[in-house]
Amino acid sequence: MSTATPHCHASTVEQDGLVYQTGLGNQFESECIPGALPRGRNNPRMVPFGLYTEQLSGTAFTAPRAENRRVWLYRIQPSVTIGAAESLPQEPQFAGGCDPRACEAAIDPLRWHPYPVDGAAGVEYDFVSGLKLQCHAGDPAMREGLAIYLYSFGTNMKDLQTHFVDHDGELLIMPQQGSLDVLTELGRLIVHPTELVVIPRGVVFQVNHFEGESKGPIPGTSPTATARGYMLEVYKGGFALPELGPIGSNGLANARDFLHPVAWCVAQSDYEKPCCIVAKMQSQLYAKSSTHSPYNVVAWHGNYSPYKYNLERFCAVNSVTYDHLDPSIYTVLSCQSEHVGTALADVVLFPPRVLATDANTLRPPWFHRNVMSEYMGLLYGSYDAKVSSGTDGAGGFVPGGSSLHNAMVPHGPDAATYVRAVADPCDAPVLLNRGLAFMFETYLPLRVNPQALRDEAWRDVDYTACWQDLTAADFTGWDWVNGTVGTTREEDDR
């Protein structure tokens, strides 16, 4: 019998000087004071270290076990000690600066440049005041729908002593420029460009510039630079991994690559500073004053926690013979509607990958119309369906920009991409590695902030010109259509 000591790897990893717990959907537990987490029961009469017990439920108590999400918090003061809510004393009263009910239907293909932050020079924005609502559907009061925002900020929330909590939905944040230092009730996460972070409904958090080394393809943004990115909010439920079906038990986003924080508590000198918690309820913002920091959870256990995921860990799957699979094959996370297989919101990635299809497969995406609405963003580089994109300053679909093809709105590769792809002999597999694009896809038609439709410094008003060179000039069948030649069909190779 071997006497060697077995090696055990705890399910934690360390990044940027922080420890994370790995997995998705599992039960986590963490304490930043040894012995603070009660054992054997959730709600003892005498809580270690004089802590208070508080349960945060993300689903109904009676939700099926596989969907049930809750966390037990052991904290210095319970959340009820935070003051009553008051309406914000100044604009904007609505998250993202726009009343979602004012958004408008949009039937044209739409594309936007990065939001022109410089146009607001002299105004200091933090993460919350720097949100810009772009697209919206549904109603948070009915727990149905979603909202898509851009964010940009130069000021840390910690410098303003503000925090944010969303009663309306779960938030998914994708930094495009600038690494984020995200403080939450359950711990701290550093989130770099090419990573995403999910903040569950009801969790208080704060977003600051990361003062360490900013990583990702956008080099070296300093702590004072503008940070910017995208944010998706879902009013129903939360995000989960998609089913894998015949793919099997591995692939796409693997559960072990999701990182959850460990318990983290501010020092006493910071704890006793008055602060403001900005709360969002039914799209409106309120201010709650507090005599103390909300980051006072000394221990917690459960499965309702913020988490982050590195998109570069995505294991892409697609055809190695001919044609493309539908883009759902690139789904990272999904928030399902009540229709089986139909998403309120899919988060879809177009990662660097090998295109290994045969010589008679058009490698860019096909032209299509989709019952789903497709919002796209670009984290870096260029997107393979648009040659007019990139970092050459020529406009088009550029990093930080976005596009929307609403339900049934035609779209596809631009004319130059199509012509180039038809001419490509495609005689060998090729590594497609020009950028990182993503898509938020929803079964709801999206309505658009009126400013996003009319602000010509923001909207790319010439977008549809990219398809106008797809003319009928190459069609060789007019004689057949016009009946001026015989009607015998030639054999083909099907």
Binding-site annotation, residues: 368, 374, 383, 411
Closer CB to Fe ion, 54 or 374, in the complex: 374
3-state helix vs strand vs coil in the chain, percent to 5: 15, 35, 55
DSSP string over 20-60: EEE-SSSPEEEESSTT-S-SS-SS-SS-GGGPEEEEEESS-
Is 233 an interacting residue with respect to Fe ion (CB under 5 A)? no
Three-state SS at 354? strand
In this structure, which amino acid lies at residue 106? A
- Cβ distance to Fe ion smaller for residue 293 or 334: 334
Count Cβ atoms below 10 Å from residue 229 Cβ, excluding itself.
Answer: 25
CB of 200 to Fe ion, least distance (A): 29
Measure the CA angle with vertex 380, ends 374 and 384; round to 5°.
60
Q: Work out whether 414 is an interface residue with Fe ion (CB under 5 A).
A: no
- Within residues 171-230, the interface with Fe ion by CB under 5 A covers none
In the complex, what is the shortest distance from the CB of residue 468 to Fe ion, in angstroms, rounded to a whole number?
19
By beta-carbon proximity to Fe ion, the closer residue of 22 and 373 is 373
Nearest distance from residue 470's CB to Fe ion, in Å? 16
Task: Choose one: 137-145, 196-204, 313-321, 373-381; the region binding Fe ion (CB under 5 A).
Answer: 373-381
Nearer to Fe ion, 170 or 374 (CB): 374
Active site annotation includes 405? no
Residue 439 CB, nearest approach to Fe ion (Å):
7
Residue sitting closest to Fe ion (CB): 374
The interface region with Fe ion, picked from 8-16, 74-82, 128-136, 367-375 by CB under 5 A, is 367-375
31-70 footprint of Fe ion as x/- string (CB under 5 A): ----------------------------------------
User: By CB under 5 A, which span of 141-149, 242-250, 268-276, 366-374 interacts with Fe ion?
Assistant: 366-374
Taking the least distance from each CB to Fe ion, the nearer of 296 and 406 is 406
- Give 396-416 as a DSSP string: SS-TT-EEEE-TT--B-S-HH
CA distance 188 to 306: 9
Query: Is 378 within 8 Å of 436 (Cβ atoms)?
Result: yes
Token pair recorded at residue 222: 């300093």
Q: How far is the CB of 414 from Fe ion (least distance, A)?
A: 13
Residue 274 burial (C-beta neighbours within 10 Å; 0-12, 13-18, 19+): exposed
Judged by beta carbon, residue 33 or residue 409, the one nearer Fe ion is: 409
Q: In this structure, are residues 199 and 173 in contact, taking their beta carbons and an 8 Å threshold?
A: yes
Query: Of residues 113, 260, 324, 339, which has the active-site annotation?
Result: 324
Determine contact, residues 470/412, Cβ cutoff 8 Å. Answer: no
Give the count of residues interacting with Fe ion (CB under 5 A).
1
Name the minimum Å distance from CB 214 to Fe ion: 31
- Please check whether residue 414 is in contact with residue 466, taking contact to mean a CB–CB distance below 8 angstroms: yes
DSSP string computed for 252-314: BS-GGGEEEE------HHHHTS-EEEEEEETTEEEEEEESS-S--EEEEEES---EEEEGGG-
Q: Which is nearer to Fe ion, 179 or 382 (CB)?
A: 382
Q: How far is the CB of 374 from Fe ion (least distance, A)?
A: 5
Annotated binding-site ranges for homogentisate:
383, 411
Quote the CA–CA distance of 470 and 387 in Å, as a whole number.
14
The rounded distance, in Å, linking the Cα atoms of 217 and 278 is 32
Which range of residues in 9-17, 26-34, 220-228, 372-380 is near Fe ion by CB under 5 A? 372-380
Residues 6+ apart with CB under 8 A from 426: 357, 358, 359, 360, 361, 363
> Is residue 374 a contact residue for Fe ion (CB under 5 A)?
yes
For residues 101 to 130, the per-residue mask of contacts with Fe ion, x marking binding by CB under 5 A and - elsewhere, is: ------------------------------
Residues noted as catalytic? 324
Residues near Fe ion, by CB under 5 A:
374
